[in-house]
Structure 1
């Protein structure tokens, strides 16, 4: 299962004897579209402005010309990267990690390319800026907004901790707001992240001094360093001030080791007893006694976040309307719902997802689905409907409905299978931008085709036209076949 890096070859030099129904059966996830391309891809981007810079990297806001989508390109100097930050398949470890995630509060990576000096990584752009810029500098925070931010942050952390990843650089500057109007966040900058090796503890001091856990400074640690960082983030969001007075990194590290922040100190400036109780579980010196992200999500102060969603939806009642489930339909739909839809188009769905996700781990298990179904049908029918949902929409067979799978199952085709979106998917296959794709271009991304009518229609049409499929024909086939299916 899974797929190799999506690296495009010359379509006119490909083996014509394609075996379309055998070979790798790639699982359809957002990550299959994270691709490694050549440096000429930089010409697809028009620079708008610089939105971030540091000693070893900078971030540019750019318009991606094939779709006119705004993207944030992170540019990293090759000379500044260490071996642990590189990846054999995806060049940059950060890209390899991000492609594994499908969570509403984690930023997405589109592609990776390089030149002689730099690596380039186009990322999802968040128009609201960072939490640091918006709330700490401008001081536009209240307790409810802080709870909303922390609940989403902990959900993201619980999600990637379960996948064996430690962020190691959590701070308000790396938490981004989707828009200027909401407190919906996306966690970014996984440049210091590492993957946990079973039976081994991590080493190396990463991140900004204020947020470092004592055990990271000492040199040996596990994923609980991220939990400590959450405690410091919460303190700063609530007070607007850092917890240590050191004038440089060495001084701050010394203060962390000698006098680490405690909930007792917090209680002097924070009056809410429920928040203090929450911090008592997070700011624990011994990481073995420190609460996990998944358990922190169940704390009464954080749990109130999900109790605020009084959304009544007919979404789960209408799932039988979708009848087209070919491989190409899944891939086209997945790219559109994961990468192209405007946040305004899915804002209510995201809240509904939060409501169903009772434990806050960023994915839906069968019991959570059944619990929601029981609000408008009897238990026996809920049981059967839940099984059907997982059979049809658990595309990666992990026994959960992941966030993009939820969007796919919740949206009717006429809401997202629009010409401009299908055109954007076509351009993901047509990397040399000559206006044509081959079956191999498509198969190199989605794996072997299915025997569904839509896949067969695509194969037949491509065979009739010297094995080349135009953008117009591709769009027509997708729209025509899905329309017929959904009317049947």
Structure 2
């Protein structure tokens, strides 16, 4: 047998491989009967020639069988032989283990290993930390499985190294030996968020405090175009046990980079918190915002909106939950418990509005992390006073007047982005103290009293498009629409297709004119000559049309720049280089002299 030595064989079966094989029962029986008489009185001894022939044939058959078995066995071993153990980390790190002392296991073991409370030596001193100890033997079985998990763990290490935020777990280092992969990070002893809601729902004030911190950490990830893909209460931990403890996002095993214009396709996440587009196999960072909506619902109601109706086997339960997720969330108040607001658990109107904005199936309409942070629920839930809606304030602060074509597009969109019209009108009326239909600089200063005068002047000048010294409701809408549209590529695409009535993937001058001048409210905002000049400026390659990449270029969204390899993309990269040169500090003569002297001394 494979793997047994001659000594092993002797110990197991009582004889050596080099000794003759023990006789079988049939052979002993034949020996006993030889020489005995048959009933006919003749000896039973077979003829020597026939016996020799029988032995020869038996030996041949035995050799053939052994050869066949040996061939099959060697083929089986080759097919199932585990690939050689590969490094997860490129450089040798085995010596790092001597700088760690493992104390005890934290919580329950996971699928691949355990998390340990440990101490690590830093500049001669021992500091507390947590170490995720992953057993390589659990994922190094088979070439395809090994390749899959090598990629998963390398991704996790790469993502964790990029993170640097107070509300994201701080990663120290990764090292490995022949048996384990070790991920060293800061120790969080306050427990999971899930433990804090096991006994029931939280107050809106407490939930707002927790969620606001988590959103800050999530914004850090999304600003780097990284989707977590597995947000849930078990993956949020408190740094310590105090009530003021910061909370941190952990577990980046499913996190993936999602550059602009790219969508992920592999299923990820936990069914209760999985976004509908993940089930369809086409998703980006917006999937995290759906999860945040589910988590907010869970914190305020004490149960998840999507759950299995009865005790079922894991596969059946998962299928039922995902089917409910695909149907979506109904943001209405109804009796019972499910994917709606239960009438016997009271929540504020602002809270329901925010949850509805997050758990919408249409990715275009779903709130981004910046929009969620700016929602007034966070202000009201914590009892803070805010004179104007935070979403409108953020829009004014971030508003930047761009090129003429950009402004033209915003004008055409103000009539179609209407879901927040009530918010805008209500905020405008609050700011317009004398009710003359305009907001003066003094009225703006009172509404944004926390800002310094210099910043207020910049905001007012940027928003006052026609330079008449006051802000109109339409100018406030421009600022609001600009921020909303530039937040997502899905919204930019909708704006493009709204103007592209011919569905040619390129905007003509006639289509642009029709979009603005075909409506009574906007036709007098720009003259035909101004529209033609703006169109020529947007047409980078001068082919008479504005294609999608040229449109993205003139709109200037960081979330959706022109696609790589296109002329607008090349122009954008060159303009960024020129901007970096302008921002670079100009060296004075003394600094140049010092550098030259240092260079000459190094050379000598």
The two structures have a TM-score, normalised by structure 2, of 0.44
Name the residue aligned to 2:288: 226
Q: Which deviations, in whole Å up to 9, do the C-alpha atoms of 1:267-301 show, x marking residues without a partner?
A: 43542211111111001012222111111111111
Matching residue within 318, 321, 327 for 1:252: 318
Name the residue aligned to 2:117: 61
**Contact preservation (8 Å) 1:72, 1:122:** yes
- Offset of 1:239 from its aligned partner? 2.1
Name the residue aligned to 1:399: none
Query: In structure 2, do the counterparts of structure 1 residues 215 and 62 end up closer, same or farther at CA, with 3 Å as the change threshold?
Result: same
Matches of 1:140 and 1:214 in 2, distance apart?
Answer: 25
Matching residue within 142, 148, 161 for 1:99: 161
Matching residue within 210, 222, 229 for 1:168: 229
**Secondary structure of the corresponding residue to residue 116 of structure 2:** strand
**Contact preservation (8 Å) 2:201, 2:299:** no
Matching residue within 316, 341, 358 for 1:266: 341
Matching residue within 131, 134, 149 for 1:73: 131
**Contact preservation (8 Å) 2:329, 2:360:** no
Q: Which deviations, in whole Å up to 9, do the C-alpha atoms of 1:35-92 show, x marking residues without a partner?
A: 976122222222222113212132111122343221111122334376566569xx73
Name the residue aligned to 2:101: 46
- Offset of 1:225 from its aligned partner? 0.8
Matches of 1:292 and 1:95 in 2, distance apart?
Answer: 26
Q: Which deviations, in whole Å up to 9, do the C-alpha atoms of 1:84-127 show, x marking residues without a partner?
A: 66569xx7322211222222211111001011232111111112
**Contact preservation (8 Å) 2:238, 2:246:** yes
- Offset of 1:230 from its aligned partner? 0.8
**Contact preservation (8 Å) 1:35, 1:112:** no
Name the residue aligned to 1:213: 275
Name the residue aligned to 1:302: 378
Query: In structure 2, do the counterparts of structure 1 residues 286 and 296 end up closer, same or farther at CA, with 3 Å as the change threshold?
Result: same
Give aligned pairs, total. 299
Question: Superposition pairs for residues 100-119 of structure 1, below 5 Å?
Answer: 100-119=162-181
Greater Rg over alpha carbons, structure: 2
Question: Superposition pairs for residues 226-375 of structure 1, below 5 Å?
Answer: 226-243=288-305, 244-245=307-308, 247=312, 248-258=314-324, 259-264=327-332, 265-272=340-347, 273-304=349-380
- Offset of 1:377 from its aligned partner? 8.2
Question: Superposition pairs for residues 139-218 of structure 1, below 5 Å?
Answer: 139=200, 141-181=202-242, 182-218=244-280
**Secondary structure of the corresponding residue to residue 107 of structure 1:** coil
Name the residue aligned to 2:535: none
**Contact preservation (8 Å) 2:117, 2:131:** yes
**Contact preservation (8 Å) 2:201, 2:302:** no
Query: In structure 2, do the counterparts of structure 1 residues 146 and 375 end up closer, same or farther at CA, with 3 Å as the change threshold?
Result: closer
Question: Gaps (5+ residues) in structure 1?
Answer: 1-33, 311-357, 360-364, 368-373, 384-450, 453-488
Q: Which moved more, 1:44-53 or 1:253-262?
A: 253-262
Query: In structure 2, do the counterparts of structure 1 residues 291 and 215 end up closer, same or farther at CA, with 3 Å as the change threshold?
Result: same
**Secondary structure of the corresponding residue to residue 292 of structure 2:** helix
Name the residue aligned to 2:575: none
Matches of 2:169 and 2:385 in 1, distance apart?
Answer: 23
Q: Which deviations, in whole Å up to 9, do the C-alpha atoms of 1:434-468 show, x marking residues without a partner?
A: xxxxxxxxxxxxxxxxx99xxxxxxxxxxxxxxxx
The two structures have a TM-score, normalised by structure 1, of 0.53
**Secondary structure of the corresponding residue to residue 99 of structure 1:** helix
**Contact preservation (8 Å) 2:201, 2:300:** no
Matches of 1:35 and 1:138 in 2, distance apart?
Answer: 46
- Offset of 1:306 from its aligned partner? 8.3
**Secondary structure of the corresponding residue to residue 197 of structure 2:** helix
Structure with the bigger RCO (C-alpha within 8 Å, sep 6+) is 1
Q: Which deviations, in whole Å up to 9, do the C-alpha atoms of 1:290-319 show, x marking residues without a partner?
A: 111111111111245788599xxxxxxxxx
**Contact preservation (8 Å) 2:191, 2:237:** yes
**Contact preservation (8 Å) 2:272, 2:321:** no
**Secondary structure of the corresponding residue to residue 76 of structure 1:** strand
Matches of 2:321 and 2:358 in 1, distance apart?
Answer: 18
Q: Which deviations, in whole Å up to 9, do the C-alpha atoms of 1:213-237 show, x marking residues without a partner?
A: 1111222111111111111111211
**Secondary structure of the corresponding residue to residue 47 of structure 1:** strand
**Secondary structure of the corresponding residue to residue 215 of structure 1:** helix
Query: In structure 2, do the counterparts of structure 1 residues 164 and 193 end up closer, same or farther at CA, with 3 Å as the change threshold?
Result: same
**Contact preservation (8 Å) 1:87, 1:96:** no
**Secondary structure of the corresponding residue to residue 162 of structure 2:** coil
Matches of 1:299 and 1:46 in 2, distance apart?
Answer: 46
